[in-house]
Structure 1
Amino acid sequence: MPMCLNSMLEKEKLRFTRGDFEKSLSQDQTSFQSIDITGVDLSGLDFTECSFEECRFSESRLTNLSCEGATFKSCRALKCDFSYGDFSEARFDNCNLSLSVWRGAYLSAASFTDCKLTGANFGEARTLGVQFSKSTLSNAFLRKMNFRKYELEEVDFSGADLADCDFRDAVLYRCRLDDAHMSTTRFAGADLREADLGDLSFSSAANFKGAIISKDQATELLRGLGLKVF
């Protein structure tokens, strides 16, 4: 029964085209719910302070959008291209954004909560003040992103490319860093006591120079060096 109900709900989503959006926006409509926009090219449209709930954007082209202050709740946007759009102060809650592309996008003060961003590409994105909470960023491309003095809660960075990222003085609570690529990543002053650092070895420990770790993590590090701890 649950599977049948889900199928019925999916069929009820209203299919929208670019023309439908242009007409709605010209009539000052700012709220969209249960809309299917899969594969549609909406590049360049202005969705400033619009809200989207339970909409599907998968594989859509949303480049150069104006989405300042927009909200996205329970939306599905797999493989969606958000490149070079303005998402300043936008909010994403409980969205599946896996394999999405944010190249060159403006994400100043944007927030992602309970979101799935597996394999997302944030290359060259402007991310000053962006917030991630209780979200999955495994295998994501996050090079050179600044998390300095951030408080990150339950963020999964496993397997992510964190090269040249700045985590100095940040607090990572119940975050995962196992198997992440951390070449020249800075952690000085970062509190990693509640983070999952994966299998610590002498080579991987160098990535966490200056960070604060727990006694248990220190013990694991010593064991990784082949030392016996009593």
Structure 2
Amino acid sequence: MKKENFLLLLALSLIGVSLVVTLVVQGIEKGATVVAALFTTAGVIFSVWAAQIRSIDQQNREDSRQYQRLVQEQTIAREERDNQRELDREQRDSNSKALILQMSTQQRIEMSKRRDSATTKLLGDNGLERAAAINDLFFQIDDWWTLIDNEISLSEGEEKIRQLRQEGRRRRQELFDLALKIADENELVLEARARNLRARLAGDVNPSSLADLDMRGLNLASPVTGGRTPDLSGAQFPRGIDLSHSNFTGCLLNNATFEGAKLYKASFARCELTESNFQDARGTECSFQNALIQTANFRESHFWKANFDDAIVVGDFSNSNLKASSFRRSRIAASSFSKADLGAVDFGLSEIALPNFSETWLAFSNFGGARIVGGNLRGAKFGFSTMKNAVFADPAMPSENSDSWMLEEDDATDWTGVNLEEVDFRAVKLRSRKHFTKNSVHYKRSLADFRPEQNYPRSPNIFDSAK
């Protein structure tokens, strides 16, 4: 209850009590004068109360108007401050953009000078200076990527952004070609190329600086052995990248990834390819000559007319297509060619230990002078292949009751049209001569012995055991 209402109620209560007491004590006639005075007093009190109420209401309304005016003034002041801050921010952004564009212009001029300087060094005779120029060219590629990315973030309009992206790619491609596609046999230069490329493909530096660049025709070939070897171990080339006509001769490519890559006429001669990944890669006339290929993944790859001559091969070529390729004089161990297409492949004079040729297409292939030690030939198709002077051996002959025979009686291996004259099968467990009697040419003059051998000696060297 408000204070003024309480005072009015108290006054009226006192008047009422006084009226009752007067009437009781003095009677109605004698108390009339007092009653009139009390009513007059009550009227005065009520008038005063009403005037006070009106004054309070007026004051409240005035206070409300003052408050609303203050709120409005504060709102206007706040909006003005916000607008001023926005104007200041826009001014700063405008100044910042102008400054960045000015710096970009200066940076473009500086990078043009750096490119000219690096080009001059690349044409010089000092190998150390050429290697330093290679390093600077790669840093320029990164700088161009950052510069264009910053300019794109400040640009508006799709056309402007498209033009900047095209310019950035053109600038980076020019530098990339200078760094990696000019023939240079200096080992310091090759080492610098490999180191910078590996860093950007292995995640040590932002790989986006090499995004969308044409990497065909890379030149990292090492012409010497025993010196510094270009090391690209661990490089993760983007899936599906085109590396056609690239030359990696003599490089270390251990644990490198070329999955799905296009490798037409690429060279990996004399490379170390331990645990490298070529799954689903494709190429024609690729060279792996004299390469060291260990536990490598070539599953589902397509390498037509590839050259694996004199290579050491331990890998998985399952479901691959190596049609018309050459493995002459190669040493192949524990490799799987299951369900692969090896039509017209040349294994001449090679040493093949424990291969998996199950369900492999080997028609018109050449095994002349090759030694095949153990392995799985179940379901292989040797139709019209050449095997003159080939030797089939097993380093650890199974017992007569063993299930690990090279050729089972119910085997679907196809020898149609194969000339087995002078082929040595004496060390192979053959349960039946039916593999040869109907399909093969001149099998009777071969050295095959169809009687099970017992206690065939083991040898620690799977190749020497065939001798």
Taking structure 2 as the reference length, what is the TM-score of the superposition?
Answer: 0.41
Spell out, residue by residue over 1:134-160, the C-alpha distance to the aligned partner (whole angstroms, 9 max, x if none): 112221110123344544312223201
**Alignment RMSD (CA, Å):** 3.1
Residue of structure 2 equivalent to 1:197: 392
Is this contact kept in 2: 1:192–1:211, CA < 8 A?
no
Q: Quick one: which of 262, 274, 277 aligns to 1:78?
A: 274
Spell out, residue by residue over 1:98-119, the C-alpha distance to the aligned partner (whole angstroms, 9 max, x if none): 111012212122221111112x
Q: What's the CA shift for 1:223?
A: 5.2
Is this contact kept in 1: 2:362–2:383, CA < 8 A?
yes
Spell out, residue by residue over 1:14-35, the C-alpha distance to the aligned partner (whole angstroms, 9 max, x if none): 5342637949x75876210332
Is this contact kept in 2: 1:202–1:225, CA < 8 A?
no
Q: Quick one: which of 282, 287, 290 aligns to 1:94?
A: 290
Spell out, residue by residue over 1:4-51, the C-alpha distance to the aligned partner (whole angstroms, 9 max, x if none): xxxxx9xx955342637949x758762103321112211333211111
Identity percentage over the alignment? 14
**Within-5 A mapping of 1:101-116:** 101-116=297-312
Give the direction of change, closer, same or farther, for the CA distance of 1:205–1:193 in structure 2 (3 Å limit): farther
Matched to 1:173, the amino acid is G
Is the helix fraction higher in 1 or 2? 2
Unpaired stretches in structure 2, ≥5 consecutive residues: 1-186, 202-206, 222-228, 394-426, 455-467
For 1:27 and 1:87, how far apart are their aligned partners in 2?
15
Is the strand fraction higher in 1 or 2? 1
Give the direction of change, closer, same or farther, for the CA distance of 1:145–1:93 in structure 2 (3 Å limit): same
Residue of structure 2 equivalent to 1:4: none
Instruction: Find runs of 4+ consecutive structure 1 residues off by over 6 angstroms.
Output: none
**Within-5 A mapping of 1:24-103:** 30-33=218-221, 34-44=229-239, 45-103=241-299
Q: What's the CA shift for 1:128?
A: 2.6
Is this contact kept in 2: 1:18–1:41, CA < 8 A?
no
Matched to 1:111, the amino acid is N
**Within-5 A mapping of 1:61-210:** 61-118=257-314, 120-198=315-393, 199-203=427-431, 210=439
Give the direction of change, closer, same or farther, for the CA distance of 1:160–1:222 in structure 2 (3 Å limit): closer
Larger Rg: 2
Q: Quick one: which of 200, 217, 221 aligns to 1:19?
A: 200
Residue of structure 1 equivalent to 2:169: none
Spell out, residue by residue over 1:155-176, the C-alpha distance to the aligned partner (whole angstroms, 9 max, x if none): 2232010011233444311212
Give the direction of change, closer, same or farther, for the CA distance of 1:103–1:149 in structure 2 (3 Å limit): closer
For 2:358 and 2:381, how far apart are their aligned partners in 1?
9
What is the SS of the residue equivalent to 2:292? coil
Range 131-140 or range 141-150, more displaced = 141-150
For 1:28 and 1:80, how far apart are their aligned partners in 2?
20
Is this contact kept in 2: 1:137–1:158, CA < 8 A?
yes
For 1:27 and 1:177, how far apart are their aligned partners in 2?
40
Unpaired stretches in structure 1, ≥5 consecutive residues: 1-8
Spell out, residue by residue over 1:174-215, the C-alpha distance to the aligned partner (whole angstroms, 9 max, x if none): 212221101112334434331111112332866666345584
Give the direction of change, closer, same or farther, for the CA distance of 1:29–1:50 in structure 2 (3 Å limit): closer
Matched to 1:217, the amino acid is L
Give the direction of change, closer, same or farther, for the CA distance of 1:190–1:224 in structure 2 (3 Å limit): farther
For 1:172 and 1:108, how far apart are their aligned partners in 2?
18
Give the direction of change, closer, same or farther, for the CA distance of 1:225–1:186 in structure 2 (3 Å limit): farther
Higher relative contact order (CA 8 A, sep 6+): 1
Residue of structure 1 equivalent to 2:413: none
Matched to 1:32, the amino acid is L
Q: What's the CA shift for 1:64?
A: 1.6
Matched to 1:19, the amino acid is R
